[in-house]
Amino acid sequence: MLLGLVAAWEVAGRAGALDPLTWSRPSVIGLEAGRLVNETEFIWDVESSILNIAYGFSVGVAAGALVGATFSRAPTAIRGSLLGWLAAVQGIPFIVFYPVLLTVFGLTRMPIVSIVALVVFIPVTLSVAIGLSSISNEYLRLSRVLLLSRRQAILKIYLPAAVPLVFPGLRLGFSLALISTIGMEFIVASKGLGYRVAESYHAFAVEQMYAVIVWICAGAVVVNSLLSWIEGRLRQDAVTT
């Protein structure tokens, strides 16, 4: 079906039915996409976006895992209200703080990375906290009966048990990281994939714009598929006792 749409697009474009400045054509886009890969500036944009996402994601995941693990050991009542608060705050479009952070930090990576970290932190914390606290009691009893040391219990039982439960949070976190990064790069940036799209748009370089969009989509699909696959492999071990 997708191929059909692409084919129709190409035909309509050649026939002159579509305004070239708005729509371009798949064949031209394809060529441009290929050309871009060899262009140094494009590589820098890719690198910039990837670094923004990577830094933000790492900080968000690390902090989220730590805080989530701490929350999961809090008494149920406290944990409930903390998590509820986080879930409510999750709805805030943090990207809205970008201009504020720009004023504070200037046009560096900091504003983007900070917001990405925040936007990843929340779902990961929720995922870890809920996941860890739902690991059954039976594992606790097992680890005590088998005389596991604290370190052994964490490494051999809790960590492997928790990892598959954390993945939904990771996937969501990544999606949000990507959206936020591209979004902020649209708004104000000096490089990055989002910046490139906006710049192409303003310069009427239509094929370039679509080409970059295609690369962004491809990247997102690849990473998401990878995360899903890893999660699938981990989840197949989950048993309902």
Binding positions for other proteins, rule: CB under 8 A: 136, 138-139, 141-142, 144-148, 152, 156-157, 160-161, 234, 236-241
- Per the CB < 8 A criterion, the answer to whether 154 and 139 are in contact is no
Least distance CB 78 / other proteins (angstroms): 16
Least distance CB 156 / other proteins (angstroms): 7
Tokens of 189: 């940036």
- Per the CB < 8 A criterion, the answer to whether 169 and 128 are in contact is yes
Question: Of 88 and 145, which CB lies nearer to other proteins in the complex structure?
Answer: 145
Question: Of 37 and 142, which CB lies nearer to other proteins in the complex structure?
Answer: 142
CB-count burial class (<10 Å; 0-12, 13-18, 19+) for 117: buried
Question: Of 40 and 241, which CB lies nearer to other proteins in the complex structure?
Answer: 241
Least distance CB 174 / other proteins (angstroms): 23
Least distance CB 150 / other proteins (angstroms): 13
**Tokens 């060529």 belong to which residue?**
31
Question: Of 188 and 234, which CB lies nearer to other proteins in the complex structure?
Answer: 234
Amino acid identity of 148? L
- Say how far apart CA 67 and CA 90 lie, in whole Å: 15
Least distance CB 170 / other proteins (angstroms): 18
Tokens of 216: 């962004």
- Per the CB < 8 A criterion, the answer to whether 112 and 119 are in contact is no
Least distance CB 167 / other proteins (angstroms): 14
Question: Of 85 and 139, which CB lies nearer to other proteins in the complex structure?
Answer: 139
Rounded to the nearest 5 percent, the helix, strand and coil shares of the chain are 85, 0, 15
**Tokens 């696959």 belong to which residue?**
229
Q: Is 204 left (phi over 0), alpha (psi -120 to 50) or beta?
A: left
Question: Of 58 and 133, which CB lies nearer to other proteins in the complex structure?
Answer: 133
